[in-house]
Amino acid sequence: MTSDYEVLALNESQSAVIVLTGQVDRDAATNIAGAYDAAAATSPTTVVLDFSRVDYINSTGIALIVSLLGRARAEGRAVHAAGLTDHYRQIFDITRLSDFIQVYSDVDAAVGSATT
Amino acid sequence: MVRPLELDTPAVTAVKVEQVEAPDKKGSSKPAEQGKAGVRRRWRRSKRAAEPAPQAPAVASETRRLTLEIAPNDPVLAFLQGATGAVDVSTLPESSPAVAEMRASSVELVVPLVASGEMVGLLALGPRLSERGYSHDDRRLLDTLARYAAPALRLGQLVRQQQAEARSRERIEQELKVAQLIQQQFLPSSLPNLSGWQLSAFYLPARTVGGDFYDVMELPDGRVMVVTGDVTDKGVPAALVMASTHALLREAGPRLVSPADVLARVNELLCNDIPAHMFVTCLVLVVDLESGDVVFANAGHNLPYLRGADGARELRATGMPLGLMPESQYDEVQEQIRPGEVLLLYSDGLTEQHNDNGEMFGFGRTGELVAAAKTGSGLVDSCVTELDRFSGSQEQEDDVTLVTLERSSAVRPSRVATEELLLNFSVPSEPGNERQVLARVADAVAECGLDEDALERIKTASAEATMNAIEHGNHNRPELPVDVSVLRTSQGIAVEISDLGGRREDAVADHPDLELKLAGLQTPRGWGLFLIENMVDELEEHTHEERHTVRLVMHVDPTAADQAETDGGVS
């Protein structure tokens, strides 16, 4: 199994949505970096990570998200997350990622908040 | 001062060098006035053997004390040192202040007292009573006298010097004995009687006083705080720092109760006062006597050993030693001491003692002693005996402190007896195999009554522990297996994941700090162990030779309601 991604640029809300699929682990490293590059190319103010199709995030995946967050913050972009299971929400809390990434139940809520 | 002498008698008087060393001799034993440059040497004329002469008959031969100071650069010194016998003061250089003083005191003749080539004094003589000059025979007699007197004088000087040194040593020893008594007051004079528990302790400073300490305090909530500590260095400096650290811990312990808070507080206070290059390692542990639950925090001290049902293991917690860095924070680790188990707290005087072959006592021997321990007091005894035997002719290098805490094996059966093996398998050490482990563990525990949240947590913890075993234990070598056991226990379930990487000193990384990571000050990685710790109810690590095992425990509470949370949109 591999991970995959899809970038949706939503210009009217100035957000870009990265839809992640499968596992966020070491195999996802190039995909996630590539996805962020593609998303950043649309100059969004907010990058939304959609985890609704992700079934596994491990510590290496957390590290990838931390790196992505670091890049986004350096470039002045907000990062939102959507579609996390309760378990991974808990992990976002434990790691304090949720202090820096707004967590929403789904992409619509995440994008909606970015417009307002 | 000295009055001019009325030397109307042939007074034979020793003028002795109060300082024993020659002017150019090094290593003199007297402080202060002793340096080479510009120091004036005191010469004192005294009666033979320096006895006071209260009963000296008022006969003609009266002796007096004459104190002469001869500066090291006084030209007369060279003269006298080169002289072979009695010297007429009139032939001595007038430029010498000492000669001027001799003349003022009517000294006519001086005879250098030379022992082992070193001038140790002078015989000084006034005018002859007969008012004739000193004859040739007189001088020969004086030379002979000087030859006998000089070694005796030298001997007297050495004896006196040694006596002075012995007196000062005695005084220091006396003071150290007092210091030792005071220090012993800091250590518990007797250990409290704890229901269902046995405490034992051993304390042996390498010198009269030491920098190690331990303490036992009963807390307001009924729990008991046990503290062991070790100040860098030994002897008096360490003892002084030990005293203040002990006082700070005594104050903070019962007030703050939390081991992490106690260490953080004492660290703050010590940082202000401790001399540079000194610090204190310290372990604070609080035990609940009813449940055996233990919470502890560690400031750079040796990790405690627990002799459990399945051998010895270290209880891990790390943190900066006290007094090094302000604002240090300490992690608290939870453990449990079950009935029959023995906990050992110890200082590095045990593990770092060398034997005649230059080997260190080390953790291996310590671990073996712990593993073999039946009781706490037995463990203290075996450590002391073994350490003594091991040291051979080597001196004790550092203070040794041992404290054991044993929970009586009464009521409850041991853990092993109540465990049921549900699943046991291995995977090759290849990245990605943790997902296989995750899936198989999830299947195995499906019927064990874990709620969904707990199930997800044990899955994540198992996957992370497997990743660590593959990467850090077996170094991604596929031929090395990672063994996984799933057990049902009296409390819930346990997953044991083993690799062949042996003890991992660096297994407990610094706690990952997201802000530091985002600021690029910490690697983005390093979340594995942190996640595991936060996922499971208990985390244990043990090492048996090269086999390193992580045990993940999830409690199952049969009464737990389903904790389905209704999540709104925004966190």
As given in the structure block, the two tokens for residue B270 are 């010590």
Which element (helix H / strand E) includes B69? strand B66-70
Show residues of chain B in contact with A91, CB under 8 Å: 460, 531
Q: Do B527 and A67 touch (CB under 8 A)?
A: no
- Written as six digits, the tokens of B82 are 């080169």
Q: Look at the block and give the residue holding tokens 């802000």.
A: B515
Can you give the pLDDT at residue B21? 33
A29 band by pLDDT with thresholds 50, 70 and 90? confident
- 8 Å CB contact of B571 and A64: no
The total of other beta-carbon atoms located within 10 Å of residue B131's CB is 7
A48 lies in some domain: yes
Closest CA to B155 of B103, B118, B198, B190: B118
pLDDT value of position A81: 95
Q: Helix, strand, or coil here: B20?
A: coil
Side chain identity at residue B31, one-letter code: P
Residue whose C-alpha is closest to residue B109's, from B129, B134, B79, B84: B134
Sign, CA dihedral B125-B128-B131-B137, equals: negative
Residue B182 clears pLDDT 50, i.e. is over it: yes
Q: Model confidence over B272-320: pLDDT tens digits?
A: 888 888 999 999 999 999 899 999 999 999 999 999 888 899 999 989 9
Å between A42 CA and nearest CA of chain B: 23
Q: Is the separation of the CB atoms in A94 and B531 below 8 Å?
A: yes
A66/B524 CB distance under 8 A:
yes
Query: Is A116 domain-assigned?
Result: no
Above 90 in pLDDT, residue B525? no
- The reply to whether A64 falls in a domain is yes
CA B15 to chain centre: 50
The answer to whether residue A13 is domain-embedded is yes
The residue written with tokens 């959507």 in the block is A82
User: What value does the mean pLDDT take over residues B545-571?
Assistant: 64
Total domain count, chain A: 1
Contact A7, A38 (CB under 8 A): yes
Q: DSSP of B217-235, one letter per residue? A: EE-TTS-EEEEEEEESS-H
pLDDT in tens, B421-431: 888 899 999 98
Q: Which CATH number does the domain housing residue A13 bear?
A: 3.30.750.24
Whether B187 shows a pLDDT value over 90: the answer reads no
Kindly indicate the confidence band of residue A3, based on its pLDDT and cuts at 50, 70 and 90: low
At B456 the pLDDT is 93
H/E element, B549:
strand B547-555
pLDDT, greater one: B44 or B502? B502
Q: Please, which pLDDT band fits residue B134 given cuts at 50, 70 and 90?
A: confident
Q: Does B566 touch chain A (CB under 8 A)?
A: no
Specify the pTM. Answer: 0.45
Q: Are the C-beta atoms of residues B452 and B511 closer than 8 Å to each other?
A: no
This model of the complex carries an ipTM of 0.87
Measured between beta carbons, which residues in chain B are less than 8 angstroms from residue A48? none
From chain B, the residues in CB contact with A23 under 8 A are: 435
What residues make up the domain containing A47?
A: 4-111
Tell me chain A's radius of gyration from C-alpha atoms: 13
| Residue linked to tokens 């005996």 | B385
Closest C-alpha among B259, B202, B216, B210 to residue B231: B210
Please state which of the ranges B129-133, B198-202, B403-407 shows the lowest mean pLDDT.
B129-133
pLDDT given for residue B546 in this prediction: 84
Transcribe B388-438 into DSSP letters.
HHHHTTPPP-S-EEEEEEEE---SSPPTGGG-EEEEEEEEES-TTTHHHHH
pLDDT score, position B62: 56
Q: What is the pLDDT of residue B499?
A: 93
Provide, for chain B, the percentages of residues in helix, strand and coil under a 3-state DSSP scheme, each rounded to the nearest 5: 35, 25, 40
Q: Name chain A contacts of B531, Cβ cutoff 8 Å.
A: 59, 62, 91, 94-95
> B515 in helix, strand or coil?
helix
DSSP B499-514: ES----TTSSPPPP-H
Residue B466 pLDDT class (50, 70, 90 cuts): very high
* Burial class (CB within 10 angstroms; exposed 0-12, middle 13-18, buried 19+) of B92: buried
CA distances from A20 to A90, B366, B503 (A): 19, 51, 38
Residue type, B240: L
- Residue A13: predicted pLDDT: 66
CB B102 within 8 A of CB B89: yes
- Measuring CA to CA, which residue among B337, B333, B338, B284 is closest to residue B534? B333
Walk me through the domains of chain B, giving residue ranges and CATH numbers.
13-163 (3.30.450), 187-407 (3.60.40.10), 419-555 (3.30.565.10)
Strand bridging mode B224-231 / B212-218: antiparallel
Quote the crossing angle between the two packed helices A29-40 and A59-74, to the nearest 10°: 20
Q: How many CA atoms lie within 13 A of A42 on its CB side?
A: 21
* Cα angle, residue B97 at apex, residues B96 and B101 outer, rounded to 5°: 120
Question: Which range is least confidently modeled, A54-63, B9-18, B225-234, B362-371?
Answer: B9-18
Query: Which of B453, B460, B527 shows the shortest C-beta gap to A86?
Result: B453
Do the Cβ atoms of A62 and B531 come within 8 Å? yes
- Of residues B75 and B343, which shows the higher confidence score? B343
Confidence of residue A4 (pLDDT cuts 50, 70, 90): low
Residues 6+ apart with CB under 8 A from A73: A79, A100, B518
- Average pLDDT on B345-373 reads 93
In order of A103, B57, B526, the CA distances from A89 in angstroms are 8, 108, 19
Each residue's pLDDT tens digit, B311-354: 899 999 989 999 999 999 999 999 999 998 999 999 999 999 99
Q: Which is nearest to B349 in space by CA: B383, B322, B318, B321?
A: B383
User: What's the CA gap between B152 and B259, in Å, rounded?
Assistant: 67
Mean pLDDT of B103-122: 88
Query: Averaged over B464-483, what is the pLDDT?
Result: 92
pLDDT at B63: 61
Task: Return all residues near B105 (Cβ < 8 A) that are at least 6 apart.
Answer: B2, B4, B5, B7, B66, B124
- Nearest Cα neighbor of A67 from A11, A107, A24, A104 is A24
Query: Is B467–A58 a contact, with Cβ atoms under 8 angstroms apart?
Result: yes
Does some domain include residue A49? yes
pLDDT at A5: 67
* pLDDT beyond 50 at B463: yes
